[in-house]
Amino acid sequence: MNNRKVTGNLQRTTIWAAEHWLATCGSDLNAKAQKICATAVQELGRRTGFLPMAAPLLMIILLAFNPLLLEYWMPIAVLYLLLLMAAMIRIALAQKISDIGGGERVSLARQYQTTVDISGLCWSSLVGLMLLTRGIDQLTELALIATLALTAGGFTTLTLEMTLWRRFVFALWMPLILLTTASAMQGLEHGWILLTIELLIMLFSGIQGQRVVRDYITGLLSQTDLEQAVSTIAFQRDELLTHESRLDELMEQAYRLSYYDQLTGIGSRSHFHERLTANILTRGSGQRRFAVLYLDLDGFKDINDTFGHEAGDELLKIVARRVGSLMRKDDFAARLGSDELALMVNNVANNHDALAVMQRCLKEIRLPVTLQGRTICPRASIGIALHPADGDTALALLKAAESAMHTAKRATKQRFARYSPEMTLAAEQRLSIEQELRSALTTGQFTLHFQPQISTTNGCISGVEALVRWQHPDRGLIPPAEFITVAENTGMIDELGEWVLFSSCHQAAKWFASGMPPFSVAVNISPLQLLDPGFTDTVRAALESSGIDAELLELEITESAIQTHSEARDTMMQLSELGIRIAIDDFGTGYSSLASLKELPIDRVKIDRLFVKDMLSSERDTAFLGNIINIAHLLGCDVVAEGVEERAHIDKLCALSCDCLQGYYFSQPVAAERIPEYAREACDLALEDPGLARVAVTAE
């Protein structure tokens, strides 16, 4: 409301300044008013032409048929010469105004105004003298008609500025009205009637001229707004084309360098697999053994959270350089994941050699590193597997080395471990979790919690995100981070995801049936579900069985799911045709984000909590977040910010025009029965506080 009021006041100020540009041009005006002023000044010069000569020509004709005025030849000659000179100067000034630019135009326009005033005064005085000397006859009637014609002619030239028109009408009619008044007082027949008509004409001309000025300036303002809008759209289009071109270049470069990691410069996962396979084939069992080291940086997430992703990338590059410096000609290093490296070290005969290699790696990695002015000592966990004792294929060796790394990470930090068969216990544990998951699905151990999403427009609840929880009979409430990956790896994610989808839709139907106003229900979708050809039919069945509208169901999909699987994109298109809303979850943490928004039917963007967390300590992060929101809005997407935990987050995100907020500042994920109460409290507080109300609801 306040923004609209300020905008309206600014618009009215701009129009008033543009209508009075002879008085306001050159002062501290906004750019739009200055542009309108410049256009009006130039148009004044263009419209003038030779029209000012009409008054002297008409007057010389009228004087030629009025010999009685010869006895007043001295004042008449002076008035006529002034009229003629003013007309000629006015024509010359108009030509200059058309030819030159800049602030000098305004000065010339003010001189032009003076000539208009002189012309009006001279003409009106001459006509008044005719009226005094001849009374009302055919010649004076013609003179009055000529005065009307000059007034009408002024509409075509002088209704470009309010002050210019008012002064012209006053100068043209006021002397005549005064002389008519004098004639009427001397007994001029019908003099008072004539005076009344002149006053009405003067009043009508002034009012009508002001309307013409306002219409013209309003038209210029609309034209300026349209030009500005077209310019903005063109600029934004060029920006998007630039980003698209850059994105194409990066993708082409990634294709050319697919065998090497772009960040660290060492090998990629696929390249490492090829080299490892080739090494196994060329060496055989009779040659000297080699080792595979699986390295994982400890506390890497803490580095990202504390120093930011740029610092994390810098640390990865430093560690990659240090590890690469230890590699010999026949050895090979690669980056397998975000903070995972793999090393293939040849000519490792026994455990003693393997131990020496790992110690050298750990010693080199632990050297101090300075990140953003603070010194840290990187930590790593290393698992090692030997060929052929621990595996005779590339996949087996990598799995063995990874199992050893997980053992080292669980045992103690900054240590290493050699693979042993006992480490297969981890696989048995995963099997146990798998069996418990299957039992949980059949016995109804899963439950849904919902986290509200708050609209920045009215402070009320605009949606909820459904989050699955495992109510284990022995271990209590288990968060999804501990079982979703296992469900995906074991193939149970489809069954679990289907349960979450149907349960969320039916719960929403219960809320709406109880009288709650409709709001969106967001459900997280696994990448594996999108690869299921029957997933669209599953969603359709969930909508039909619950009876909720398709537009109230929102499916959240991670960037990686749509970047790495083309089949997922086809499924998204089918879901969009059903009317389902599609949201990209954790936006900004993946790659090709702009391509996702541009090419896919995305309705909503969920900004990752890391961006929201960093915005309070970095103006650059705030600006970057603002750009993400602007681009998303430009492409027709709503924006939801996750991880809102402080009032300062709300203030900044509202200033950046974020549409919706979600986080612990408002509420933790709560049971379904708490949502109606939360919705009422949120709207009540929003009515009390025009700003975004804080509603603290915690899980019981």
Domains along the chain with CATH numbers: 2-231 (no CATH), 269-419 (3.30.70.270), 461-688 (3.20.20.450)
371 neighbors 314 (Cβ within 8 angstroms): yes
> What is the per-residue pLDDT for 10?
60
Residue 457: helix, strand or coil by DSSP? coil
Ranges of residues in the chain whose predicted pLDDT is under 50:
591-592, 693-700
Cα 363 to Cα 404: distance, rounded to the nearest angstrom: 19
For residue 10, the Cα-to-chain-centroid distance in whole angstroms is 24
Structure tokens at 543: 């909508």
Amino acid at 363: K
For residue 649, the Cα-to-chain-centroid distance in whole angstroms is 17
641: left (phi over 0), alpha (psi -120 to 50) or beta: beta
Count the neighbouring beta carbons within 10 Å of the beta carbon of residue 153. 14
> What is the per-residue pLDDT for 462?
92
Cα 156 to Cα 158: distance, rounded to the nearest angstrom: 6
> What is the per-residue pLDDT for 406?
81
As a residue count, the chain comes to 700
Cα 273 to Cα 378: distance, rounded to the nearest angstrom: 27
Cα 494 to Cα 525: distance, rounded to the nearest angstrom: 9
Structure tokens at 181: 């008044």
- When computed from its CA atoms, the radius of gyration of the chain, rounded to whole angstroms, is 41
> What is the per-residue pLDDT for 700?
32
Helix (H) or strand (E) holding 282, with range, is: helix 269-283
> What is the per-residue pLDDT for 593?
52
> What is the per-residue pLDDT for 161?
81
Count the neighbouring beta carbons within 10 Å of the beta carbon of residue 60. 12
> What is the per-residue pLDDT for 125?
83
> What is the per-residue pLDDT for 697?
38
> What is the per-residue pLDDT for 521?
96
Cα 356 to Cα 347: distance, rounded to the nearest angstrom: 12
Backbone angles phi, psi at 371, to 5 degrees: -125, 115
Amino acid at 200: L
- Angle formed at CA 684 by CA 680 and CA 690, multiple of 5 degrees: 140
> Is beta strand 374-376 parallel, antiparallel or unpaired with respect to 379-387?
unpaired
pTM assigned to the model:
0.45
